[in-house]
Amino acid sequence: MRDGVEQMIQQLNGEMPAGTERELGLSRRVFLQFCAGMAATLGLPAGAEAAIARSIVAKRRPSVIWLHLSECTGCTESMLISEHPAIDKLILELVSLDYHETLFAGAGKQAEAARKASMAANKGKYLLVVEGAVSTKDGGIYCKIGGRTATELLNECAKDAAAVIALGSCASWGGMPSAQPNPTGCTGVSEVWKGPVVNIPGCPPNPYNFLSTVVHYITFGRFPDLDNQGRPKFAYSRLIHENCERRPHFDNGRFAEEFGDFGHRSGWCLYRLGCKGPETYANCPAVLFGDAGGGCWPVGTGHPCIGCTERGIGFEKPIHSLAELKFVTSPAFYPHIVEEQGKGVSVAAAAVLAGGVGIAIGAAAAMAKNLGKGSKPENKPAPKSEDSPDGEE
C-alpha cells in the first residue's frame, strides 16, 4: 500500500494542477492515499487509484440537485461530520452542489430559482440525490416544498437527471416515515420514479458508501455494479454477520442473554438480543462509522444491529426479535477473541471484503439449539486463571 502511494505520487506529481492542495485542504500524500483507499473499498483492480486521482482533479464537476423530502436530515449530517479525510470539503469539491436546502445560504424563491437554473443549464447531465421518503397519500399534500408536492418535485427533477441516487433508508425503501400505520403514505423513490435508481440505504448510510459511488461515477462515467435491489455491490454484497467482530463468539455458542450480563460486557454475540446481522447486507463491520475510532458502529457499542439497510427488516421487524439466518458462512477473516472491538479492516482487506465470496458450511443445523430457538445455554464465566484474571476467554 505504501509503495503504491509513493509510486503514484511520483507518477502524478506533475499532473495535479497548482492549487489542488489548497482547494481540497489536503496534502498531496493524503489526497492520493484517499484515492488508493477508495479504489480498495470499491474492489477495483490495481491502477484504478491513479484514474480516480486524475478524474477528481481534471474533470468538470458534475452538477448535483439534492432534494430533502420526508426525513430527519440525518444522512446529510452524517456526511458533513465525517473526517477521513474531511468529507465535507471533498464532496463540495468533487461535485457542484447547486441545490441543497440544508446548506443553502438562500431560501424561498431564491433557492427555487437556483434549482431551476441549474437544471436548465445541466439538462441531462446533473445527478439527482434524494434524501427522504416520498409522501403519496391524498395527492402528496403532507410534504410540500415551494408549493410543490414531493411527488411532483421528484418527477420534475428526475426527468432530466443523468442519474438518480436514493440516499438513506427513507429514500430507498420508505424507512421510518413509512412504518405502520404510515398515515402520510410514505414510500421509496423507486416506487414513484419508475426510471433507474441507485439505492444507498442505511439510517443513516455510511457516508463513504455514498462518496465511493459518486467517485466511481466521476471516474468511469457509470455507477458501480448493483445488486437486484439497486444497491452498490461493493457495500451491500456481504451480510454483516459474515465479518462481525463478534462472529467467533457466535460460532462457539457464546451469546449475551441480557443487556449488562457477563456475556454482554465481555463482547459476546448479540444474536439473542435481536441482532439482525445474520439477515442484513452492509459493510458496517469493515468500514465502521463516523471516524470516531474503534467500536463506532452499533454492534461495536453493544447494541444489536436493527437491519436498517434492509427492506422489510429495519423499522418493520421488532428490534429484539430473533433474526432469520439466511445462511452461515465462513467470514473473510477471523479476529482474535481477545482483540479490541471495532477496529475494522485495513484498506487492503477491504478489497477482499468487496470481492470475496463466502464459502458455505453445513453447521446451521448443529447450531440451531444454541441460537435462541431452543433452550438457553448456560453462559457461565470461565474459571479465573493467571492468564485471564477476569475469567474471560
Which residue ranges form the domains of the chain, and what is each CATH number? 1-58 (no CATH), 60-235 (3.40.50.700), 237-393 (4.10.480.10)
| pLDDT at residue number 44 | 64
Cell of 304: 444489536
| pLDDT at residue number 393 | 39
Q: Return all residues near 308 (Cβ < 8 A) that are at least 6 apart.
A: 169, 175, 201, 202, 203, 280, 314, 315
Cell of 184: 402520510
| pLDDT at residue number 280 | 96
| pLDDT at residue number 303 | 94
Tell me the average confidence (pLDDT) per consecutive run of 10 residues in the chain, 393 residues long. Answer: 49 52 62 68 64 63 90 89 64 78 83 91 94 95 93 96 96 95 96 95 91 86 92 94 91 92 94 95 86 80 94 91 79 55 48 36 34 43 44 41
How many whole angstroms separate alpha carbon 189 and alpha carbon 161? 14
pLDDT digits (tens, 9 = 90+) for 57-76: 655 678 899 999 999 999 99
Cell of 152: 411532483
Q: From the CA atom positions of the chain, what is the Rg in Å?
A: 23
| pLDDT at residue number 81 | 77
How many whole angstroms separate alpha carbon 247 and alpha carbon 254? 10
Q: Return all residues near 218 (Cβ < 8 A) that are at least 6 apart.
A: 55, 56, 59, 62, 94, 95
Question: How are beta strands 127-131 and 63-68 bridged, if at all?
Answer: parallel
> Any idea of the CA torsion for 112, 115, 117, 120, to the nearest 10 degrees?
-130
Q: Are 186 and 133 in contact (CB under 8 A)?
A: yes
| pLDDT at residue number 335 | 54
pLDDT digits (tens, 9 = 90+) for 308-354: 999 999 999 998 899 988 876 655 555 555 545 555 544 444 444 44
Partner residues linked to 67 by β-bridges: 130
| pLDDT at residue number 326 | 82
pTM of the model: 0.73
